[in-house]
Structure 1
Amino acid sequence: MIDILLTNDDGYSSIGFYPLLRELRRRYTVCGIAPDTQRSWVGKSLTAHADIEFEKVAVEGLPVFAVNGTPADCVQVGLFHVLDQKPMMAVSGINIGENVGRSLILSSGTVGAAMEAAIDGIRSVAFSLYIPPEYEEEIDFFDAENFHIFQRAAMIACKIVDILMRPGVISSFDLISVNIPFEAGTDTEYEITVPFKNAYGQVFHRSGTAYRMRSPLVSFENAAAGTDIHALAQGKVSVSPISLDLVVPQSTMRILDEQLREHW
């Protein structure tokens, strides 16, 4: 039986994938299956109008599967066409950049892959590493010589996976979104958080006669205590348990029912 299904949204050749694959394989049996190219910002989308294909490739000598689809496609392919049994856990990451706040979480392919696995009843966790702006233009995130940049984050991720794998650990959540500070180590403090409620603002900007997406900047100023972005700003590892129930409190449902009934 495979212990862990590992995927991401930056592609199997990104420098966030191999360090985590290597660390997890020290303790677990791991099936690595990831997009064949970068598939960021696709959320939990599944490919509906094109053929999905996958092939076995190698990353630093370790076999993985490359899929010409989304991160959620990778989970589907892994669960139903590669593995004979469901894994104990699905792990997604390590994402290049943070996934904090509800807007980024709902758009993230890294978190989307974890959501896809969670829908099939598999305990899932998504890992993201905050990259300071001054490093974003300097680092080639697809150069194997830069694997070391994600090594500490991979060790943190593996530490969290170890804890979640322990018998009796609480499981009344669908998935966990973990955001790791750039300089964090295995002794860095963590905080249980909730996603902060943010809005993108404008994401499409004119480029000639067309409009092109520009990733919105995340502001760490005036972040509310207890939120993922506040913990990250404080240099802590943010651990956000997430439910996919998509429901509101019963009190809200009753009030809405009363208002509809009054004017129906």
Structure 2
Amino acid sequence: MDNNHSRPTIMVTNDDGIDGAGLQALVQALVSTDQYQVFVCAPETERSAVSHSITWMHPLQVKKAEIQGTTAFAVSGTPADCASLGISKSLFPVVPDLVISGINMGCNSGYRIMYSGTVAGAREAFFYGIPSISISYDWISGKSTAKDFKLSAEACLPIISAIIVEIRSKTYPLKCFLNIDLPTDISNHKGYKLTKQGNSIIRMGWKQITSEAEVGKILSTMTMVADSSKIQINGTKVSQESEDSLLFMRDILGIKEGDTDADYCALQQGYITVSPISALTRAEADSEAYFKTWLPAVTKCFSSPAQ
């Protein structure tokens, strides 16, 4: 008999908040297949770019949320908190077969992976041996619409289905997790492409601000930010009332595309990029070779008795 307990269980989290359009589209796509038991454990508010931060010194507040076809909770913590809580059996009755973090509003490729709360949600599950995926859509303000999240979710269903089959047959590798990025023109994507994490990065500087008008000008250049209302200056009113207080805001200087054979460039070419990544990182071979010689020399030099 087909019931919730015999169906594969997928837990969804994100960093855009439980009401985020990407998460809602992904959950709707999963529920509509009628193949999965779907849990949702996601931040109650926007928690973008919090990386892998966790809540340590105070309890999390957890509230039941209504998302049709799921058991869902909104959490006062970070994406990593949500993933950890969701797989712990403290909140849900079973450990999920698969954790999916996303769909994020904005791509997460190259060095941006390190900043991403979306990727951290998947990485946290990976730490505990749970298969996981982080999914991001390359949202561009003025070009993208809410429909693109629906198309992105549908484009990911074949991958999700295939992973579940591998998990059930115990043939899915557990030494990595997948980071998936979907191109802006998702309706005309060129197919799936296996890629690696590159070294692309959004180059950012800092600009001192003294008025709300300056904030607006900066936000208008931030193509990686879909909705300027998501940006707040820590609740600080822009003013010059105090001569002792200065306000600075990040300023986008441009994008360094990085490796031509890696994730970001393939994404810009229109591919859905699928990158296996791990929490363990190693330096490049030439750097390892350098320090293999360097460290013994330093040790010998500084351990020599004083003359």
Q: Which TM bucket (shorter chain)? A: 0.7 to 0.9
Mean Cα deviation higher: 41-50 or 206-215: 206-215
Quote how far apart the aligned CAs of 1:251 are: 7.8
1:82 pairs with 2:91: yes
1:196 pairs with 2:198: yes
Quote how far apart the aligned CAs of 1:203 are: 4.3
Alpha-carbon spacing, 1:62–1:190, altered in 2? closer, same or farther (3 Å): same
Runs of 4+ in 1 over 6 A off after TM superposition: none
Mean Cα deviation higher: 201-210 or 119-128: 201-210
User: Using the alignment, how far apart are the partners of 1:218 and 1:59 within structure 2?
Assistant: 37
Alpha-carbon spacing, 1:66–1:172, altered in 2? closer, same or farther (3 Å): closer
User: Using the alignment, how far apart are the partners of 2:120 and 2:205 within structure 1?
Assistant: 20
User: Using the alignment, how far apart are the partners of 2:188 and 2:68 within structure 1?
Assistant: 24
RMSD of Structure 2 on Structure 1 (CA): 2.5
Quote how far apart the aligned CAs of 1:239 are: 0.8
User: Using the alignment, how far apart are the partners of 2:188 and 2:203 within structure 1?
Assistant: 35
Q: Larger Rg: 1 or 2?
A: 2
Size of the aligned set, in residue pairs, is 252
1:234 pairs with 2:269: yes
Give the match for residue 184 of structure 1: 186
1:261 pairs with 2:269: no
Alpha-carbon spacing, 1:210–1:187, altered in 2? closer, same or farther (3 Å): closer
Alignment map for 1:216-235 (pairs within 5 Å): 217-218=254-255, 224-235=259-270
Quote how far apart the aligned CAs of 1:100 are: 1.3
1:108 pairs with 2:145: no
Deviations 1:155-187 (A, max 9, x none): 112221112122365515421111001222497
Q: Which amino acid aligns with 1:45?
A: S
Task: Specify the SS of the correspondent of 2:203.
Answer: coil
1:40 pairs with 2:48: yes
Task: Specify the SS of the correspondent of 1:213.
Answer: strand
Gaps of 5+ in 2: 211-245, 300-307
Give the match for residue 11 of structure 1: 17
Alpha-carbon spacing, 1:218–1:64, altered in 2? closer, same or farther (3 Å): farther
User: Using the alignment, how far apart are the partners of 1:116 and 1:107 within structure 2?
Assistant: 14
1:125 pairs with 2:124: no
1:21 pairs with 2:20: no
Quote how far apart the aligned CAs of 1:133 are: 3.7
Are the equivalent residues in 2 in contact too, given 1:42–1:70 (CA < 8 A)? yes
Alpha-carbon spacing, 1:28–1:62, altered in 2? closer, same or farther (3 Å): closer
User: Using the alignment, how far apart are the partners of 1:62 and 1:30 within structure 2?
Assistant: 5
Give the match for residue 101 of structure 2: 92
Gaps of 5+ in 1: 140-145
Mean Cα deviation higher: 240-249 or 151-160: 240-249
Alpha-carbon spacing, 1:76–1:216, altered in 2? closer, same or farther (3 Å): farther
TM-score (norm. length: structure 1): 0.85
Give the match for residue 152 of structure 1: 151
Give the match for residue 250 of structure 2: 213
User: Using the alignment, how far apart are the partners of 1:218 and 1:160 within structure 2?
Assistant: 29
Q: Which amino acid aligns with 2:13?
A: T
